[in-house]
Amino acid sequence: MSANYDIVIIGGGPGGYAAAIRCAQKGASVALVEKEHMGGTCLNRGCIPSKALLGSAHFLLLAKHANLMGLEIGTVKPNWTKIQARKDAIVAGFRKGVAGLVASNKVKIYQGRGIVLSADKVRIESSDVEEISVGKIIIATGSEPVEVPIFKFDGSKIISSKEALSLPEIPESMVIIGGGVIGCEMACVYATVGCRVTVVEALDTILPNEDDWVGKTLIKEFKKLGITTMVGKKVTSIDTGSSQAKVLLEGGESIDCEKVLVAVGRRATCDKETIENLSLEIQGAKIVVNEKMETSVTGVYAIGDAVGSTYLAHGAFMEAEVAADNATGGDEEMKNYHLIPRAVYTFPEVASVGRSEKKCKEMGIDVVVGSAPFRSNGRSVAHNETVGEIRVIRNRANDEIVGVTMLGATVTEMLAAARALIGTNEKITDICFAHPSVSEVLKEAWEDAYGISLHVPPKRL
């Protein structure tokens, strides 16, 4: 007799495990099927390992500049084997933690590939094959790196972010194709540990979803790290015939390097059999869902990278909560995707939430932009982290703040405050910010959007 669950979740990444816990908290009997490791892309080959490597690289960067802080600490150099071991230990620890957390919520974890046979049956393929009966299904099967047909991954010279996180040695040189979030973060890791890095971006700026000043400033900062950034350049082919890879660009230029990291985006994934068995509606590779995270099949929900709305772990968390609520009798909707924060852990960091200036322009919103630099902030100067600024965007018509864009040392940690402030009725002048703190720059920029900053010189509005 097959086991029976109220809800089965396919995939144990941030979307899947969050949905499982929330469904269990609501009293449902829940099973989760994971074919590889709990934690999904985020924990095993994404957010966490990349931040672990960035953590080591950032520490190295600070140590290299110790003399600026009045310290003499001699030569510092990376030990890549230890950096990798530290990263692997962090991942292993969290992997165990997530599995334990899910199990402690009385969710049954099945190790194997889950294929949906119908809206009420799932087959689990592992060493045995087992079928389970289900009330509702949440698909959280994630995504994979986009492969470019004319230069496919070979896992050796042409690699994806997965291999880039686990290279056995620091390459002498690396060309990164794609100046998006993953490409820029990996550029910071490898350049800091001594690899000669070139970022090639087809569009005319890096981090193209942000306002132009962000890409321009980051390119300048990348130069200080030794990163060459080439924008408006298309890669036409890669020749891997000799010991080095030769990256050929439109117009005839070429770059020789040891590794080519292709970081041109991610693509939603879901098993072909599941799609066919359910006749699921798909757009491109993404599973089509409505605001309730319902697919085209009653009782089947989809979330996270598999629906491709954010390609972010915290986007998957939010969608998981909505799907879990609805699958257990609630009535929730995913609203305000633009208020999902965007964080880039480069040196310096980039963080934004809400609308950018260029998005406002596209939408015909007339804006006033307040700004404040880190160079006039006491704590930033004390920490020798003075690069960058915060810009706050006010809708001139109704006076509401519609977006915040930040570039600076620790701006990702201020995203929650920026998000919480957008749409609040509380006046920023009534909120007391600790002094000296880096977050005072957020207050100054916010007030500057209304022409009332105490520490930013008056501007014409």
Ligand X SMILES: Cc1cc2nc3c(=O)[nH]c(=O)nc-3n(C[C@H](O)[C@H](O)[C@H](O)COP(=O)(O)OP(=O)(O)OC[C@H]3O[C@@H](n4cnc5c(N)ncnc54)[C@H](O)[C@@H]3O)c2cc1C
The footprint of ligand X on residues 138-157 (CB under 6 A) is 140-143
Cα separation values, 87 from 94, 166, 263, 334, Å: 11, 9, 21, 34
- Which residues have C-beta within 8 Å of that of residue 425, sequence separation ≥ 6? none
> What is the nearest approach in angstroms of ligand X to the Cβ of residue 221?
19
Q: Does 30 bind ligand X (CB under 6 A)?
A: no
Residue 125: in which H helix or E strand, if any?
Answer: strand 121-125
The H-assigned helical ranges of 279-312 are none
* CA–CA distance, 367 with 398 (Å, rounded to integer): 10
Q: CB of 434 within 8 A of CB of 373?
A: no
State which residue, 41 or 198, has the beta carbon closest to ligand X.
41
Distance CA 236, CA 427 (A): 52
235 or 270: whose CB is closer to ligand X? 270
CB-based contacts of 56: which residues, under 8 Å, 6+ apart? 78, 83, 86, 87
Least distance in angstroms from the C-beta of 116 to ligand X: 9
Residue 408 in contact with ligand X, rule: CB under 6 A: no
Does 435 participate in catalysis according to the annotation? yes
DSSP annotation of 398: T
Residue 42 touches ligand X, criterion: CB under 6 A: yes
CB of 167 to ligand X, least distance (A): 13
Q: Examine residue 348 and say whether the peptide bond preceding it is cis (omega within 30 degrees of 0).
A: yes
Question: Does residue 182 interact with ligand X by CB under 6 A?
Answer: yes
Decide if residue 314 touches ligand X (CB under 6 A): yes
Residue 271 near ligand X by CB under 6 A: yes
Does 346 sit near ligand X (CB under 6 A)? Answer: no
Q: Does 41 bind ligand X (CB under 6 A)?
A: yes
Residue 15 is a binding residue for ligand X (CB under 6 A): yes
52 binds ligand X (CB under 6 A): no
**Range 215-254, binding ligand X (CB under 6 A):** none
Contact between 308 and ligand X per CB under 6 A: no
Closest to 184 in 3D by CA, of 204, 153, 161: 161
Of the two residues 12 and 215, which places its CB atom closer to ligand X in the complex? 12
Other CB atoms within 10 A of residue 270 CB = 26
* Shortest spacing between CB 413 and ligand X, in angstroms: 13
Judged by CB under 6 A, which stretch of 220-228, 239-247, 299-307, 428-436 contacts ligand X? 299-307
Task: Note whether 263 and 179 are within 8 A (CB).
Answer: no
Site for ligand X in 61-120 (CB under 6 A): 113-114
Catalytic positions: 435
Binding site for ligand X (CB under 6 A): 10-16, 33-36, 40-42, 46-47, 50, 113-114, 140-143, 161, 182, 271, 304-306, 311-314, 316
